[in-house]
């Protein structure tokens, strides 16, 4: 059956703007594109550990069999959630099927009709989708701009003293997925305390990257007790699937009762949950791997400075390094040239990012060698200068 004309027109517009998304073919290129920051997704040792854990605990079930509230809450969930809560120094943890599910579930049910959400303008699409599903009023503040945020807090603070008082939620990410930069978390916690607001931090791209054990930026900054909720996503640094929301036991109970993306979906299989657990256990024993990632980030920053590339990059000390190259055609052309030379570097096009902010996004890993980093940056320099 033919696609409706209105949908055909939208596809054609993407085609005309050279922004049509297509599923890529698998290629054996040097990885500067994946979120597998510390190599857990490709770890054969980890693969065997997970298998042995399942056998040792006589877990031979392929699926969850239902939602966690019906038949899918197998015992491994409790073991893993308790481990995650202890690891992150949180009172409780609740596992969701993905980071998207966690954000949509949280933001669609926690803020209420009279409440106010203040979110960073560059927050991830999953956060924005959850906010759109809530009944609260939402306002964005300029990216990582605490002064702009405080103006909004001053504006809406009187609403917290109404007969039906509003709750204010401040939403940010500890590492932003497109820019790789971070907010001033200490300043945000101070603003939250000053205005009796609830701070929520998505740590998707910080887990496995920041901290002595890859615990994330909030915890490595000693701010875990000043944040209302943290969203930890496992599809990046842990190299597997799923997510957890960290917070109080009361928050966990609330989410179990009201987060629709948790209630109305089949649970993760025991194998998936075991993968999360064993990956967390390995974070505690892979300090050399974490240190190698940090060393590669430092080396990348040093080399882009040496080669005169620093002005085109967004400031970042994370594993995400973005070179702004305006224009879908231009950035796709340079990405293609890098790929032809054996380096998997992806272009990020508008409308995923605003027009004029198109970019090459380099994801760094513990397993990237200094020579690979040097070669890809030297090639970039020849293509842009």
Long-range contacts from 11-15, C-beta under 8 angstroms, 24+ separation: none
Q: Are residues 237 and 337 in the same domain?
A: no
Domain boundary residue among 260, 283, 306?
A: 283
Read off the pLDDT of residues 359-383 as tens digits, 9 standing for 90 and up.
Answer: 999 999 999 999 999 999 999 999 9
Q: Are residues 254 and 143 in the same domain?
A: yes
The CATH number that applies at residue 307 is: 3.90.1150.10
Domain boundary residue among 226, 250, 283?
A: 283
Q: Which residues pair with 232 in a beta bridge?
A: 244
Q: Are residues 276 and 295 in the same domain?
A: no
Give the residue numbers spanning the domain of 313: 27-40+286-384
CA nearest neighbour of 173 among 123, 129, 221: 123
Q: Are residues 189 and 318 in the same domain?
A: no
Q: Are residues 201 and 83 in the same domain?
A: yes
| Residue 56 within any structural domain of the chain | no
Q: Which pLDDT belongs to residue 169?
A: 98
Q: Are residues 91 and 109 in the same domain?
A: yes
Read off the pLDDT of residues 173-214 as tens digits, 9 standing for 90 and up.
Answer: 999 999 999 999 999 999 999 999 999 999 999 999 999 999
Say how many residues make up the chain: 385
The residue to which tokens 């980093």 are assigned: 373
| Residue 19 within any structural domain of the chain | no
Rounded distance between C-alpha atoms, residue 228 and residue 111, angstroms? 12
Q: Are residues 267 and 298 in the same domain?
A: no
| Residue 12 within any structural domain of the chain | no
Q: Are residues 104 and 135 in the same domain?
A: yes
Q: Are residues 212 and 295 in the same domain?
A: no
Higher pLDDT, 117 or 15: 117
Q: Are residues 200 and 77 in the same domain?
A: yes
Q: Are residues 195 and 172 in the same domain?
A: yes
* pLDDT > 80? residue 26: no
| Residue 78 within any structural domain of the chain | yes
CA nearest neighbour of 240 among 97, 71, 70: 97
Q: Which pLDDT belongs to residue 3?
A: 92
The CATH number that applies at residue 215 is: 3.40.640.10
Domain boundary residue among 283, 317, 337?
A: 283
Helix 99-109 crosses helix 249-258 at what angle (to 10 degrees)? 90
Read off the pLDDT of residues 319-338 as tens digits, 9 standing for 90 and up.
Answer: 999 999 999 999 999 999 99
Contacts for 151 with CB less than 8 Å, ≥ 6 apart: none
* Tally of domains in the chain: 2
Q: Are residues 229 and 356 in the same domain?
A: no
* pLDDT > 90? residue 25: no
The pTM (predicted TM-score) of the whole model is 0.95
């Amino acid at each position: 059956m033919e696609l409706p004309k209105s949908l055909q027109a939208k596809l054609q517009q993407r085609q005309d703007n050279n922004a049509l998304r297509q599923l890529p073919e698998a290629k054996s290129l040097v990885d500067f594109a994946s979120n597998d920051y510390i190599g857990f997704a490709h770890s054969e040792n980890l693969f065997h550990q997970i298998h042995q854990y399942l056998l040792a605990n006589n877990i031979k079930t392929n699926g969850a069999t239902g939602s966690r509230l019906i038949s899918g809450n197998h015992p491994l969930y409790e073991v893993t959630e308790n481990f995650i809560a202890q690891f992150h120094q949180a009172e409780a943890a609740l596992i969701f099927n993905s980071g998207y599910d966690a954000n949509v579930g949280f933001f669609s049910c926690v803020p209420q009709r009279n409440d106010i959400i203040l979110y960073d303008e560059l927050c991830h699409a999953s956060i924005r989708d959850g906010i759109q599903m809530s009944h609260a009023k939402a306002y964005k503040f300029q990216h990582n701009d605490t002064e702009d945020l405080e103006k909004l807090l001053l504006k809406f603070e009187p609403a917290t003293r109404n007969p039906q008082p509003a709750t204010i939620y401040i939403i940010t990410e500890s590492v932003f997925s497109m820019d790789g930069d971070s907010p001033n978390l200490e300043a945000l916690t101070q603003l939250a305390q000053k205005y009796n607001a609830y701070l929520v931090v998505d740590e998707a791209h910080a887990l496995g990257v920041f901290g002595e054990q890859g615990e994330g930026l909030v915890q490595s900054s000693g701010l875990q007790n000043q944040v209302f909720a943290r969203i930890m996503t496992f599809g990046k640094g842990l190299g597997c699937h799923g997510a957890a929301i960290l917070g109080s036991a009361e928050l966990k109970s609330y989410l179990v009762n009201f987060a629709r993306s948790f209630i109305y979906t089949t649970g993760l299989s025991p194998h998936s949950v075991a993968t999360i657990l064993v990956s967390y256990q390995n974070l505690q024993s892979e300090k050399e791997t974490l240190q190698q990632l940090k060393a590669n980030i430092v080396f990348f920053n040093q080399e882009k400075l040496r080669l005169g590339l620093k002005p085109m990059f967004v400031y970042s000390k994370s594993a995400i390094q973005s070179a702004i190259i305006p224009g879908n055609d231009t950035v796709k052309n340079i990405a293609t040239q890098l790929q032809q030379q054996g380096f998997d570097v992806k272009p990020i096009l508008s409308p995923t990012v605003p027009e004029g902010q198109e970019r090459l996004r380099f994801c760094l890993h513990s397993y990237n060698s200094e020579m690979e980093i040097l070669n890809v940056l030297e090639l970039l320099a020849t293509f842009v200068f």
